[in-house]
Structure 1
């Protein structure tokens, strides 16, 4: 999740949306019953849980001194994303006296997806590596995320 330029631009965190399971069938890469990582479909419920349990707590931890100011979390208009006035998210953003709000970028706006394009360039380069499974892809993306500095993202503008 990357917060926009309006106050302080800073990458807050990156979370994989996966679950652990066991392989139902044997393949060349694994035995039947071996642990595997499976993707989880992004739904509004999954997205809301991500905001409540990962994103908002990460913001509070990273910026404890900003409790008295409004923090805007920018999202695109993807189907699973929440409305800016979603009651559950508004409540979660107000917990502990904080004021964390959602703001949606205009649909299909090239001006508003600069951070996405800048960061995803690093991800694309990282995934050129030999990543053959979900765990390898997650590791490559997390590695790219760790290497991209705030200053590099600022240059995207």
Structure 2
């Protein structure tokens, strides 16, 4: 699970907030059940979870994402309302989920879950360009194990320059403008067609 926000730049051009909230692997640390040529029995190994389902994602959001947002959110007066945009997969949690309702308000923060349209990668900041950017950095590290892969992704996430993330947000803004323009054109054309008949 990855979470980013729009980077903030000061009047002097310095980055005041890099927008990188965090990246959290869906993995477990488990002891090896038997000895092999690679490790002895009992060695702690990193294994991916069997299924990234709603239980796993909800636990990740409550236990990892919310604390990370609270720790990294730029200072702000008054109550902070944070919108968490999800890509509408079945594994994601809805705002009215009973367990989420116990956690969505805390320490002056209100966390609101929203869903974007299904199958719309151009509207997802991560799919639009951020994952490609960290993927190009990660492939240079050539990881061979799950531990190496997790470490390489985490390092690439941290190494990515905030300007790159800022550029992806600008791209999302242009995409959103084009979607609105196209929708407005379609509505205008529909009304024109109806008047003709």
Q: Which TM bucket (shorter chain)?
A: 0.7 to 0.9
Aligned to 1:13: 22
TM-score by length of 2: 0.68
Aligned to 2:40: 31
1:47 aligns with 2:57: yes
1:79 aligns with 2:80: no
For structure 2, list consecutive stretches of 5 or more residues without a partner in the other structure.
9-16, 172-197
In structure 2, C-alpha distance between the alignment counterparts of 1:114 and 1:76, rounded to whole Å:
10
Post-superposition Cα deviations, 1:71-100, rounded to whole Å, max 9, x if no partner, equal 101111122110133232233121223211
In structure 2, C-alpha distance between the alignment counterparts of 1:3 and 1:147, rounded to whole Å:
14
Post-superposition Cα deviations, 1:128-148, rounded to whole Å, max 9, x if no partner, equal 533111100011001110012
1:135 aligns with 2:136: no
Aligned to 1:119: 130
Structure showing greater radius of gyration is 2
How many residues in Structure 1 have an aligned counterpart in Structure 2? 156
Aligned to 2:3: 2
In structure 1, C-alpha distance between the alignment counterparts of 2:103 and 2:74, rounded to whole Å:
16
Cα–Cα, structure 1 residues 110 and 9, in superposed 2: closer, same or farther, change >3 Å? farther
In structure 1, C-alpha distance between the alignment counterparts of 2:167 and 2:70, rounded to whole Å:
26
Specify which structure has the higher proportion of helix.
2
Task: Using the TM superposition, give the Cα deviation of residue 64 of structure 1 relative to its aligned residue in structure 2, in angstroms.
Answer: 6.3
Which sits farther off after the overlay, 138-147 or 64-73? Answer: 64-73
Q: Secondary structure at the match of 1:106?
A: coil
Q: Secondary structure at the match of 1:2?
A: strand
In structure 1, C-alpha distance between the alignment counterparts of 2:126 and 2:67, rounded to whole Å:
22
Which sits farther off after the overlay, 63-72 or 10-19? Answer: 63-72
RMSD: 2.4
Which sits farther off after the overlay, 86-95 or 45-54? Answer: 86-95
TM-score by length of 1: 0.84
For structure 1, list consecutive stretches of 5 or more residues without a partner in the other structure.
none
Q: Secondary structure at the match of 1:51?
A: helix
Aligned to 1:90: 101
